[in-house]
Amino acid sequence: MASKFPANEDTSILTDIHVQASQDSGELIAFNDDDEEITRVVIDSWIDCKDENFYDEITTMLRNQLAKMHDMVDKMGILKPYSFVLEDDDKEPVGELYVVDDEDTVIIDDKDLMSGLDKDLDSFLDNLMKE
């Protein structure tokens, strides 16, 4: 994919690279913001995969792979910031895989990170209104 966006002065303007994974066909397809295909590959071990945790497992795997390739990924000819987002067969977001930015950005793989946020915000607003 990096060959489609070589590092040069004329950077492409994208906000996300959408990565769609299919359990049925084993395809991993990358799209730009306009839903135009950038590239695709078939991963044989994914064909007809019935694993209930498929997206959780490949999210971790793809995050690790992108992190290993950060030198190349960070230098792609795309205007920063941009991110890689994993989507399911219905193009619904499954998870953010990698963010390329000039700032220090960390992707935390923790589903409970935002748990209790509504309660905390309600409590904060209640206390604010009392004052």
67 domain-assigned: yes
Q: Is the pTM of this model over 0.75?
A: no
125 domain-assigned: no
Question: Residue 84's domain spans which residues?
Answer: 2-104
Report the domain count for the chain.
1
Report d(CA 49, CA 76) in Å as an integer.
Answer: 32
SS3 124: helix
What proportions of the chain, in percent to the nearest 5, are helix, strand and coil?
Answer: 30, 25, 45
The answer, yes or no, to whether residue 116 has pLDDT greater than 80, is no
124 domain-assigned: no
List all residues 6 or more positions away from 4 whose beta carbon is below 8 Å from its beta carbon. 38, 39
Provide the pLDDT for residue 10.
Answer: 52
Report d(CA 93, CA 88) in Å as an integer.
Answer: 7
48 domain-assigned: yes
80 domain-assigned: yes
13 domain-assigned: yes
Copy the structure tokens of residue 110.
Answer: 């923790």
β-pairing verdict for 37-42 and 27-31: antiparallel
pLDDT digits (tens, 9 = 90+) for 25-81: 999 999 988 899 999 999 999 999 899 999 999 999 999 999 999 888 888 888 888
Count Cβ atoms below 10 Å from residue 14 Cβ, excluding itself: 18
| Entry field: residues in the chain | 131
26 domain-assigned: yes
19 domain-assigned: yes
Report d(CA 85, CA 66) in Å as an integer.
Answer: 12
Count Cβ atoms below 10 Å from residue 76 Cβ, excluding itself: 20
Which residue has tokens 């590959």?
A: 41
Structure-model confidence comparison of residues 108 and 94, the more confident one? 94
